[in-house]
Chains A and B, each alone.
Chain A
């Protein structure tokens, strides 16, 4: 029996450590940002200028960059992700084509971010650059638009596999009842499947947003690395993640380093909240659907 209580202690220890990881991370980020927080407070979020030599730091350019790329990426990827999910979940849920598509989608999801960035740099950027030349604007090639496209490609498999899982959760009886009443596939999708999985889809969108928000490597390589608020979707910019990647290794002064860690803290808090929200919604969905 002593072995049992020791074991129980070990289990509690494991759980404790798992919980402490987050607490410690927050603590370290907070401690590192204290100087910057004292200096700027919440106004850091709205500060428009990121000027290390003059020790003026503001988060707004990067917040705008991050939000623009994430939202654009989500909007671009949503139609494709949903179509793929509907295709794999309803139209073609078995068979060779379905297997191939599913494996390919998994493969897409497995490609590392840095390889996406590399590919984007060499194949997407020239295309966007030519587009910009045709449109008569500065032929950067890099910028928010390019970063959003790469992000969208990265999100699609993630979202679609989540939605396929949700579609599979719809009770077969409901779907068949729909068909037996003369509904077309379109009707079934529109009136039975989607209403059923609505909250799950919302949760998926939120989680995908969180993922796009924190994506670092691919974005850093194609976003243009400019520390001002972007003026158009073709502007070069920086996201909260990419500015950290660019300037963390050399932030030397106390305030500079502290400001960068402060960005990390904001990133941590925002992704924490977003992920919490997404997880809670999908938990509620799963709990609710178990009633069937």
Chain B
């Protein structure tokens, strides 16, 4: 009796789990399907290489937004990667109570809502400097990327066995040289993977850009001027009543998801190939 009951529950549980798990795919397939089917009609060479210009009859393009997204990502990386590596080094190399404190703070930073980061960046940078700019948007995104870079730097550094450092010391190198010539190069690829993960996280962020990057209908690669970005385009156009703008938003969504997808794939493949090996 007992045995039959248990078998029954086992089978029932298995079926329930399988059904629920595969049904998770349903919204995903729906979302992807819609993005692709609606976005594909907007994507043509025109769309990708022209700027946003709503009164031209040829239709609008998203080139300036794509470029803007890349500009923001670059600025964010410039701010967060070097600092993140140093912070990662700090967490691994230094032995002190302070380290645990810092680690917790960085982990918590990861969970801070992006809109709060947007407010802080506005109050800290946009207002005092009197203008919206790509730099302020990049800093906001950099703040969000920072914990991810630190975490991956810390993990990669930890994977380097101590024997490597000892060998370097034995050969007469001092501490600094050991870090820069031996330890870091060994795990740099892990750090790069972590950076890519961070980038794929911030590529789609909108909230921090609302009050910093501001938007710009023109092509712009200057960090000191406002810039448009794919997520901003999607947000602004999605809530309009115009069919034309909706189509552009779907196209931009497809491009954005495509970029993130590519980053994810690269991360997965690179992650496997570039594991710290000895």
Contact = CB atoms under 8 A, between A and B. Distances in A.
User: Do any CB atoms of chain A lie under 8 A from CB atoms of chain B in the complex?
Assistant: yes
Interface of A: 1, 3-4, 6-8, 10-15, 17-19, 21-22, 24-25, 28-29, 32, 79-80, 83-84, 86-88, 91, 101, 103-108, 110-119, 121-123, 153, 156-157, 160, 184-187, 189, 207, 210-211, 213-217, 221, 241, 244-245, 248-249, 260-261, 264, 267-268, 271-272, 274-276, 278-280
A111 B176 CA distance: 41
A15 B111 contact: no
Interface string B244-278: 00100110010011001100100010000000000
A32 B123 contact: yes
A8 to B, nearest CB: 8
A281 B49 CA distance: 50
A186 B14 contact: yes
Contacts of A84: 20-21, 24
B24 A275 contact: no
B86 A217 contact: no
B35 A18 contact: no
B183 interface: no
11 contacts: A7-B175, A18-B87, A22-B109, A80-B20, A83-B16, A91-B14, A101-B24, A104-B28, A184-B10, A268-B113, A276-B108
B30 interface: yes
Given A111-B257, A275-B110, A156 B120 contact: no
B108 to A, nearest CB: 5
A185 B119 contact: no
Contact of A114 (B24, B234, B246): B234
B20 A79 contact: yes
Interface centre among A15, A87, A186 (most CB of B within 10 A): A15
B236 to A, nearest CB: 10
A80 B111 contact: no
Given A216-B115, A245-B207, A12 B257 contact: no
A6 B179 CA distance: 13
Contact of B13 (A24, A28, A114, A189): A189
B142 to A, nearest CB: 10
A184 B7 CA distance: 7
B48 interface: no
Contact of A11 (B14, B23, B86, B264): B86
B145 to A, nearest CB: 12
Nearest to A21: B109
Interface centre among A13, A104, A184 (most CB of B within 10 A): A184
A106 B211 CA distance: 29
A11 B108 contact: no
Contact of A110 (B83, B112, B210, B260): B260
A274 B124 contact: no
A135 to B, nearest CB: 22
A210 B99 contact: no
Contacts of B119: 29, 32, 244, 248, 260-261, 264
The 5 closest A-B pairs by CB, nearest first: A112-B204, A214-B113, A14-B86, A83-B20, A275-B111
B24 A80 contact: yes
A117 B206 CA distance: 11
A22 B28 contact: no
A108 B18 CA distance: 18
A221 B249 CA distance: 14
Contacts of B110: 275
B120 A28 contact: yes
A169 B91 CA distance: 24
Nearest to A149: B27
A80 B23 contact: yes
A18 B102 contact: yes
A36 B246 CA distance: 39
B98 interface: yes
B115 A12 contact: no
A119 B112 contact: no
B111 A207 contact: yes
A102 B24 CA distance: 11
A153 B32 CA distance: 13
B115 A7 contact: no
B105 interface: yes
A14 B89 contact: yes
B146 A115 contact: no
Contacts of B203: 112
